[in-house]
Amino acid sequence: MVASQDDTSIETTNDIRLDSDTLLLVRGLKTNFYTYEGVVKALDNVQFELKRGDTLAIVGETGCGKSVTAKSILRLVDSPGRIEEGQILFQDVNEEGENVIIDLLQSTEDEMRKIRGNKIAIVFQDPATYPNPVFRIGDQIAEVIALHQDLSRDVLEMKIARLEDALRTNPDAENVEEITTRIEEYKSQLDSPPPPTDKEKKEAAKKRTVETLKLVRMPSAEQTINQYPHELSGGMRQRALIAMALSCNPRILIADEATTALDVTVQAQVLKLLNVLKTELDASIIIITHDLGVVAETCTRVAVMYAGVVVEYTNTDELFSDPIHPYTSGLLRAIPKITEKVEHLLQITGTVPNLIHPPSGCRFHPRCEFATEICAQQRPPREEIKPAHWIECHHPQGSMKGRKR
Amino acid sequence: MTSSEELIQVRNLKKYFQLTGGVFRKVMGYVRAVDDVTFDIYRGETLGLVGESGCGKTTCGRTIMHLIPKTAGEIIFEGKDVSEIKGGDLREFRKNMGIVFQDPMASLDPRITIKNAVGEPLLVNGIAKGFRLRNMVLELLQKVGLSEDHLNRFPHEFSGGQRQRICIARALALNPKFIVMDEPTSSTDVSVQAQTLNLMKDLQKEFNLTYLFISHNLSVVKHMSDRVAVMYLGKIVEMTPGDIFEDAMHPYSAALVSAVPVPDPSLRGRAHILAGEVPSPINPPSGCRFHPRCRFAKERCMEEIPELRDMGGGQLVACHFAGELDLGYKEELDASSTLAVEA
Ligand SMILES: Nc1ncnc2c1ncn2[C@@H]1O[C@H](COP(=O)(O)OP(=O)(O)O)[C@@H](O)[C@H]1O
Ligand SMILES: Nc1ncnc2c1ncn2[C@@H]1O[C@H](COP(=O)(O)OP(=O)(O)O)[C@@H](O)[C@H]1O
Ligand code: SF4
Ligand code: SF4
Ligand SMILES: [Mg+2]
Ligand SMILES: [Mg+2]
């Protein structure tokens, strides 16, 4: 069942087919950084898929390429970095409700600007530096909304609501008839609302801001919009960031170590919130983390990365019950367990390699207890070793130990 | 080898930081970082100190080591009140204690070779110099798994895990009896963390060391410790020689246990997620400091500070209703029920 790295060679985006439930397919992604010391081969042939409704984990140790993967998806890799190869296929729905497939790596910068924040949003780790410390929380979110969203319908709806309110509170007013016709007139415009004034737009954006903050369960959202980031606790700042990311109803939310700086009890709140929102908003999530506990608790599918390579990719239960790649099982054994107490933890010897001179063949081979000659010579092919369970390894372990090819 | 002989006795220890403000640097209030804690550390044991950030773990460790002056209380080391040690005796006393910090890069001078960094305490204390110093340093480096060709290298030439080993070697230089490990693996990756934790356990056996092991990571604390103390807002709320994941009796400890993300999907789901965040230690809540977040809080909790009470078997709990509450976190570990996130 060896699948070659480029099983389908696709020239143009037109003939690409994706399963209807595949939202994002990253394939053959290669990203380098051109530094003074040399070329950092940060990502080498990264491949994984995000299914609709999934919470996908990208897990791995520091420097394995998690953030570069996220930045590559959004085409935010800055110089000296460069995306060299690959496809990032995003399955979107166009205005006619048809599925369209866009290769983000072929999109223009203009198209990317529309996708970032709108379709694919990202939340970073450090809530102290984001959001911008000198602006009020509400203004920052409102700005994002005003920038990305067509608010003309919101404005019209607000006008209608206000008039209806007036009718309700004062049903015997002289101008009832006039108001009623106005309402009818506005309602008839709902399908193609007129462009609002800047003031109206601002008001609508503010209303949406409050709604979004309520969505992330921000206590007293109406007050929070007037606060500055430093006036909020770490957990609340992170909620504000998530609100900002969600304000444009993205289809994919990427959370890059978004809960790492938080205390466990607050992390638990935020992780739970993310998954609740995923369902409420019909979005899909990519959670980037180094914490396998977070993966087990919150994610449905996992891509394990090591030194710029996705070494194992499968669903969460499968990964934890039958880890097949030696790196994954090594990691799992290195974590202190809460259910048993051992004198010594099993350790992976050595350290993460320098990606300017990554090890030949399998990048894990200098640290792998199962390595043989071939491991140093050839990169293992990406292989579906069990149904929906992909690995890159010459000598699979777990239930596939001793398997002959 | 844990014994029942106290190496360190901490009695009613308080550490308040002054908050000053205005043109005249007027005292505006106090951060009650450590507020009346009492506990013993036995010779040869590892006492784990766990709690969320800002609860006072680091301050507690530093005050015990006499690195920062205490506000009130007593610290008794091998029967002697530490605050009565003065002058040259203080330097002698300090040799008994070592400390390892979270960020090894910050505690190593980038311009100083490893040989000089690890040798510094030996040189300063007039224990060795020249070739003898070099050999002593080499021996220390070998103890932590480094070798001769590392001697003349600089910190940036090492990985994070290796740097932490260098810091451990330096902490060991003066042959201390007691080492404070302050989040020693909190900035390292799991594969390296396992190496560091194993090393610390081996060294403890070899040199009969006593550790105060500070971490916010409950799983790591459980792995390392003979007893675990849980801190919340400057106070110790629970101290247990048992398994904190199994026996927690304080509502906060139980909440902490159920919040830990467990790398095992079969244990997924928690029925109770603690709402809110840790309040400021400047004006901590009255009575039981946990009461605004405690789902069992009653009127008494707002007025009366709960004392640590012995619940049997050496387990101490500071809750008015300890032993009477259905904490229910054990069932929660395997229940996959979902409670709406609280605002
Ligand atoms: N701006 C940059 N310049 C040079 N190298 C970089 C840059 N950003 C990332 N890298 C390298 O790319 C690799 C992956 O980094 P990253 O994706 O940030 O890792 P992580 O998994 O910790 O998020 C690392 O080896 C890192 O050194
Ligand atoms: N030098 C200091 N001056 C003022 N406040 C401090 C100082 N050091 C620590 N604090 C405060 O004391 C409390 C406890 O801090 P710390 O002991 O570092 O907690 P932990 O190690 O548990 O995270 C925090 O509120 C912190 O802000
Ligand atoms: S390919 Fe070889 S070196 Fe790489 S993980 Fe598999 S067995 Fe180990
Ligand atoms: S004393 Fe009261 S508020 Fe404090 S933990 Fe116990 S029940 Fe909760
Ligand atoms: Mg990162
Ligand atoms: Mg600390």
pLDDT score for B337: 34
Residue B343: is its pLDDT beyond 50? no
pLDDT score for A6: 44
Preceding omega of A80 cis (within 30 degrees of 0):
yes
Q: Classify burial at A293, counting beta carbons within 10 Å of its beta carbon; exposed 0-12, middle 13-18, buried 19 or more.
A: buried
pLDDT score for A342: 87
Question: Distance from A366 to chain B by nearest Cα, in Å?
Answer: 14
Cβ atoms A242, A123 nearer than 8 A? yes
Cβ atoms A380, A395 nearer than 8 A? no
Question: Does B218 reach chain A within 8 Å, measured CB to CB?
Answer: yes
Give the per-residue SS3 of A172-204: CCCCHHHHHHHHHHHHHHCCCCCCCCHHHHHHH
B264 interaction partners in chain A (CB closer than 8 Å): 296, 320, 337, 339
B194 interaction partners in chain A (CB closer than 8 Å): 334-335, 345-348
Rounded CA-CA distance A132/A139 in Å is 10
A320 interaction partners in chain B (CB closer than 8 Å): 263-266
Mean pLDDT of B96-121: 91
Q: How many CB atoms lie within 10 A of CB A205?
A: 23
B243 Cα: distance to centroid of ligand 2 (angstroms): 28
Question: Does B282 reach chain A within 8 Å, measured CB to CB?
Answer: no
pLDDT score for B336: 36
Token duo for residue B314: 């050496």
Q: Is the CB of A354 under 6 A from ligand 1?
A: no
Question: Distance from B218 to chain A by nearest Cα, in Å?
Answer: 9
Q: Is the CB of B294 under 6 A from ligand 4?
A: yes
- More confident position, A230 or A364: A364
Mean pLDDT of A354-367: 96
Give the per-residue SS3 of B27-59: EEEEEEEEEEEEEEEECCCEEEEECCCCCCHHH
pLDDT score for B275: 85
Question: Distance from A22 to chain B by nearest Cα, in Å?
Answer: 24
A343 interaction partners in chain B (CB closer than 8 Å): 201
Percent of chain A with pLDDT over 90: 56
Nearest to A268 among B265, B273, B343 (CB): B273
Token duo for residue A109: 């910068």
The answer, yes or no, to whether ipTM is higher than 0.85 is: yes
- More confident position, A192 or A392: A392
Give me the amino acid identity at A216. V
pLDDT score for B89: 87
Token duo for residue A85: 């190869």
- Nearest-atom number in ligand 2 for the CA of B19 is 4
For the entire predicted model, the pTM comes to 0.90
The DSSP result for B310-338, as a single string, is E-STT-EE--TTTTTS---HHHHHH----
Percent of chain B with pLDDT over 90: 68
Banded pLDDT at A129 (limits 50, 70, 90): low
Nearest to B270 among A266, A268, A339 (CB): A268
Banded pLDDT at B334 (limits 50, 70, 90): very low
Q: Is the CB of B215 under 6 A from ligand 2?
A: no
Mean pLDDT of A289-318: 96
Write out the H or E segment, with its range, that includes residue B287.
Answer: none
A264 Cα: distance to centroid of ligand 1 (angstroms): 26
pLDDT score for A7: 43
- More confident position, A14 or A215: A215
| Lowest mean pLDDT, pick from A94-98, A369-373, B20-24 | B20-24
For residue B74, what are the β-bridge partners?
B11
pLDDT score for A15: 61
Contact state of B265 with A271 under an 8 Å Cβ cutoff: no
- Nearest-atom number in ligand 1 for the CA of A70 is 17
Rounded CA-CA distance A249/A243 in Å is 10
Question: Does B233 reach chain A within 8 Å, measured CB to CB?
Answer: no
pLDDT score for B1: 55
Question: Does A30 reach chain B within 8 Å, measured CB to CB?
Answer: no
Contact state of A295 with B256 under an 8 Å Cβ cutoff: no
Residue A11: is its pLDDT beyond 50? no
Residue A57: is its pLDDT beyond 80? yes
A269 interaction partners in chain B (CB closer than 8 Å): 273-275, 341-342
Cβ atoms A235, A273 nearer than 8 A? no
Contact state of B261 with A291 under an 8 Å Cβ cutoff: yes
Residue B248: is its pLDDT beyond 90? yes
Chain A's closest residue to B196, CA to CA, is: A347
- More confident position, B99 or B337: B99
Token duo for residue A183: 């309402």
Banded pLDDT at B330 (limits 50, 70, 90): low
Banded pLDDT at A72 (limits 50, 70, 90): very high
- Nearest-atom number in ligand 1 for the CA of A62 is 22
Chain A's closest residue to B225, CA to CA, is: A341
pLDDT score for A10: 42
Pocket test for ligand 3, best of A312, A329, A370, A400 (most atoms within 8 A of CB): A370
Largest CA distance in chain B: 68
What pLDDT digit, counting tens, does each position of A147-167 carry? 888 888 889 999 899 888 888
Mean pLDDT of B153-176: 93
Mean pLDDT of A169-175: 83
Give the per-residue SS3 of B237-286: EEEECCCHHHHCCCHHHHHHHHHCCCCCHHHCCCCCCCCCCCCCCCCCCC
Contact state of A316 with B275 under an 8 Å Cβ cutoff: no
Mean pLDDT of B202-219: 96
B261 Cα: distance to centroid of ligand 1 (angstroms): 26
Residue A2: is its pLDDT beyond 50? no
Nearest to A12 by CA among A87, A64, A124, A98: A87
Chain B's closest residue to A298, CA to CA, is: B268
Contact state of A351 with B159 under an 8 Å Cβ cutoff: yes
Question: Distance from A328 to chain B by nearest Cα, in Å?
Answer: 11
Contact state of A269 with B260 under an 8 Å Cβ cutoff: no
What pLDDT digit, counting tens, does each position of A250-276 carry? 999 999 999 888 889 889 888 988 988
pLDDT score for B271: 54
